[in-house]
């Protein structure tokens, strides 16, 4: 039976949740994820847990605070004008509110590449003109449950 290696191309279902059982990601019941380890699809800590698992393994890891996505970095909280946020949103939608999670387009680079960042709206100023965005991973500094089922190791 194939075993996950540090550079394996694999297909799996996985779930990441906080201590209250709220999912940050859950592919079970939907389309599984397919990727090559070491390419940044998962945090290095989560990838390390996969190495050595056999195909068809279904297991769960309960990780202490900070182990999965590191500590919160205060510098990743930024005040941004509402106009900038609305222009950068991946998908237009209703006006952003506290608690919203959104994907923001990064400016296109000289080689035509553009990326996306995910941010959580933490606060809105009194005038409603600026948003405090948190670019930390939602599970940073949080105990995390990582459930995984390895479907295929290629």
- Separation CA 114–CA 105 (nearest Å): 7
Question: What are the extents of the domains in the chain?
Answer: 9-71+139-153, 74-134
CATH of 74-134, one of 3.40.50.1370, 3.40.190.10, 3.40.30.10, 2.40.10.330: 2.40.10.330
The three-state secondary structure class of 1 is: coil
| Domains 9-71+139-153 and 74-134 alike in fold | no
Tokens 């923001």 belong to residue? 104
pTM for this model (two decimals): 0.79
Three-state secondary structure along 86-129?
Answer: HHHECCCCCCCCCCCEEEEECCCCCCCCCCEEEEEEEEECCCCC
70-121 pLDDT, tens digit per residue, is 999 999 999 999 999 998 988 888 889 999 989 998 876 677 667 888 999 9
* CATH for the stretch 9-71+139-153: 3.10.50.40
Q: Which two tokens stand for residue 17?
A: 């949740």
- Separation CA 18–CA 56 (nearest Å): 25
10-53 pLDDT, tens digit per residue, is 999 999 999 999 999 999 999 999 999 999 899 999 999 999 99
């Amino acid at each position: 039976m194939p075993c996950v290696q540090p550079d394996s191309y694999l297909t799996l279902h996985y779930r990441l949740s906080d201590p209250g059982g709220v999912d940050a990601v859950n592919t079970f019941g939907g389309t599984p994820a397919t990727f090559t380890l070491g390419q940044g699809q998962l945090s290095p800590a989560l990838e390390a847990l996969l190495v050595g698992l056999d195909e068809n393994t279904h297991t769960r890891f309960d990780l202490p605070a900070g182990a999965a996505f590191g500590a919160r970095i205060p510098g990743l909280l930024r005040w941004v004008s509402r106009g900038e946020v609305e222009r950068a949103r991946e998908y237009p939608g209703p006006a952003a509110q506290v608690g919203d999670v959104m994907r923001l387009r990064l400016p296109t680079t000289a080689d035509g590449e553009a990326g996306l960042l995910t941010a959580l709206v933490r606060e809105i100023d009194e005038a409603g003109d600026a948003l405090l965005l948190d670019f930390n991973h939602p599970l940073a500094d949080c105990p995390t449950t990582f459930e995984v089922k390895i479907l295929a190791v290629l």
